[in-house]
Amino acid sequence: MDKPTHLIEFETMLLGRHLQLSAPRLRRNNQSLDRSAYTLLSRIRMEGPMSIGQLSEAFGLDASTLNRQTAAMLRAGLVERIPDPEGGIARKFRITEEGGRGLDAERSANISGLEKVMAAWEPEEVAAFAAYLKRLNTDIENLDGRPWPRP
- For 29-54, give the secondary structure using H, E and C: CCCCCCHHHHHHHHHHHHHCCECHHH
Per-residue model confidence as pLDDT tens digits over 26-52 = 554 556 788 899 999 999 999 999 999
C-alpha pair distances (Å), 3 with each of 9, 16, 108: 10, 21, 36
Which of 81, 77, 75 is closest to 100 using CA atoms? 77
Is 150 among the domain residues? Answer: no
Residue 1 is predicted with a pLDDT of: 64
- For 103, the domain range is 4-117
Domain count, the chain: 1
pLDDT of residue 139 exceeding 90: yes
Is 136 among the domain residues? Answer: no
Q: What is the mean pLDDT of residues 6-34?
A: 75
Is 63 among the domain residues? Answer: yes
Residue 30 is predicted with a pLDDT of: 54
Residue 57 is predicted with a pLDDT of: 95
* Side chain identity at residue 106, one-letter code: E
Residue 121 is predicted with a pLDDT of: 97
CB within 8 A of 39, min separation 6: which ones? 59
Is 130 among the domain residues? Answer: no
Would you list the DSSP string of 95-136? E-HHHHHHHHHHHHHHHHHHHHHTTTS-HHHHHHHHHHHHHH
Per-residue model confidence as pLDDT tens digits over 84-124 = 888 888 899 999 999 999 999 999 988 998 999 999 999 99
Residue 6 is predicted with a pLDDT of: 92
Per-residue model confidence as pLDDT tens digits over 68-89 = 999 999 999 999 999 988 888 8
pTM: 0.86
Is 77 among the domain residues? Answer: yes
Residue 23, number of CB atoms within 10 A of its CB: 17
Residue 86 is predicted with a pLDDT of: 82
What CATH number does the domain containing 109 carry?
A: 1.10.10.10
Is 12 among the domain residues? Answer: yes
